Structure 1
Amino acid sequence: MQNREEQLYNRMIEIARQTLREMDGPDRPGVLRKVNAHTGLGLPPPRFKVLKEYVDQNEWFRDLVAEDFEGSTDDDDPYEQVAAYFILRPEGWEQRVEDIRRDLRDADQTDRIRVLEAENKKLVGERKKLMRGERKARSRADKAEAQADKRVEQAWEEARENLPSELVQERDQQAIEIRHLKRELADQAAELEEVRRQRDETRADLEQERKIDRSPPTPSALPNIWAELDEVEAAQHLDEVVRRLFTGTRPSAPEPPAVIHQPLVLPDGVSPDSREAMEWLINLGTPFNLLVDGYNVTAKMYPPEVWPDRFWQPESRDRLHGDLSTFWVRARMVPWVTVIWDSNVSSDRSAYRLQTGVEVRFTFEGREADDEIIDLARELGPSTVVVSSDGKVLAGAQAAGALGLKSEALVDWA
């Protein structure tokens, strides 16, 4: 295989060999005897070099070659141009040969880049295909795991009625913690997948520069409720938080909070279906009770038309319990938070308290959560907030003097 230098002068060498073959024996230069004796299509590198140097240095022989040369420097073929410049020697011929050499080298590099780009694109496509297969396999595994979890939860729901309340409550708390860990793991996996996708797109598109900002978002500052309290109020608030978090043995049926008669009214401009309504409650400076229509809220988290069976699953209840626990901890006045769930199971343990202070109630067999919430709103008084998007529940709560918020407000806030 010829190197680039030989390819550049190959046309000139062909013409010089033709001239050498047509010369009479006595006229052939002795130094070119071995060159003339070679009958192959191309000259070996040593003889190629000898002939090139002889044409370059011997003006007599170069003139003979010029007589046999029919090309010109205006030819479209760059190799024909090199032969013309080298043989005819017009002014500036050396620079023109160097320019052609550089142009050919650049063109060769461009061709190599195209080949490498094509190979890289092919490899990227194959890698994406493998990743799609991996995602499908992972999806099937996730579905199988979800089905197994569902069977475990069903078995647990059937068995929980026969277990001590302490074990039931401990297991529910563990389920909440597991759900939070799974959510964090899923978020991190999604972030990693996004980074990989951006990296692959950058590699596949060599002509375009991209700048990807991976700096973590600045978290929004939370209000400092302690700064707004005097020393006595702060101490009382801290004592209440500690008491709620470390309650020792939790009662199976917590006592209801005291009735408070101070009515609650949303500030102007705050909608009952907005997250601002929940933030207003968190910073409220007066005590209040919060009643939550459990399945009505989870149905907003997981609309049945999108997830037909998800809103009533145990993991959906766990998610709402976790969100309400966060609300309970952040609230300035440590409210009494109760979430009510419909149940068709007869049980003597209809209520229990989570370690985070949230009371969980299941209705008795044959009684709807709607009626339970309305009755509780009447008992607890005007300083009660009811969260539900059910028209019957909101109407009954407001008739009892309670403040009604839509489930969308809690879902949007969480």
Structure 2
Amino acid sequence: MSSAGEGLSRPLPEPVRLNVVDLAAQVLGSLPAASVPPPLRGIAKFDPRKRARLGSAPIAAQLENDKEFRELVAESVTAGWPELVASLTEGHVPPAADPVLVAAAAYLTRPPGWADMVEAARADLERSAVAAEGSEREEVVTRLREQLAAQKNAAKEETERLREQLKAARTENSDLRRRLHEARERARAAQRHSEEMAQAAEEARSAASAAGSAGEAELRRLRERLADAEKQLEASRRAAREGRSIEDARIRVLLDALQDASAGLRRELALPTMISRPADSVAAVTGERPSVRGVPARALADDDPQLLDQLLALPQVHLIIDGYNVTKAGYGTLTLADQRNRLMTGLGGLVAQTRVEVTVVFDGAELNAPVQVVAPRGVRVLFSAPGEIADDLIRQLVRAEPPGRAIAVVSSDREVAESVRRMGARPVPSGLLLRRLGRA
């Protein structure tokens, strides 16, 4: 703030100036737009927290030069500190009053002798600053003395520790010397033993060479006997094969007769000619009715590309597929109908190649109309029923299989994979099936 007239020879002390500007900023925000001084109208629009900080210089200048604005702020001070303003008006400064508040109130209200009051507050603030600086200096000296004493103690403790370490090092050095002497003695003894063993080995080689000649002669004799035994065995096998061929022909004729008789008996009794699978017993709904929910190597890691090929090579394996989990990973940009059709096309080729039992399960939660799905031959398509999700139907299919049957469940859903693994099935990531279908 520039130096004030009317008795002030120096600018206000910084704490007093900040207090005065803050009071004026608060009053500025409460004034009607017409009462705001033109130079401060832009500042009056600021956020209250920014008004005093960003508009400090213009507000201070306006207080110094605009008596009416200063008197508006003084009215706010009088309303807030009536006792203090009354004492200053009478020319008395309360003994316990804050010098900053006294100087701010005197500057704004301008009672008789206000300049002396501001200077007296300045002197009080300077004395307080000098006393605080002296107290801080004493605290620094005390703290440095304490740090010096602590460092001396630490140095003494470090010296004692180093002495103990030196003593321990000397003891260890003496022990190492003793061990080195013992090691040298053991090395000399080992050298002597090595020489003795080398001599014994040479003698053993000589004996082995002599024994080898006799062994080779015995080996030739045994080989001749083995050749004779193999000839006799081959002759026996030939005779056994000729005998078995007659028996095999008889058994084959008998099995053909039994098979023809069984087929005729099924036709006579109108028995079903297809053997149902365990998965056929699981309750589900087909895609032909509305309001449906679904449709019809152990050492390898779950993401190993060879895992699916190894599983498909197992006899009587049942491949259960989490339909939408696979299609959304591979054909997520297509409609659900196109996703199902594309998956069915790929699975038709897979079944034709491998002849495995395949069941595809779709979630029917969003279906409210008949679903047209053309399932290839050998592919069972199931929708989960109302109130059931596809994951639960997959677990029912796994539980329906007899213990010991090979079951592979294709799904990248971690919860499904972990649950079917606990039930004895092998989970397979969807990406492996998509890669296998692409390869086909």
Query: Normalised by the size of structure 1, how large is the TM-score?
Result: 0.32
Which fold has the larger relative contact order, with Cα–Cα distance below 8 Å and residues 6 or more apart in sequence? 1
More helix, by proportion: 2
Query: Normalised by the size of structure 2, how large is the TM-score?
Result: 0.30
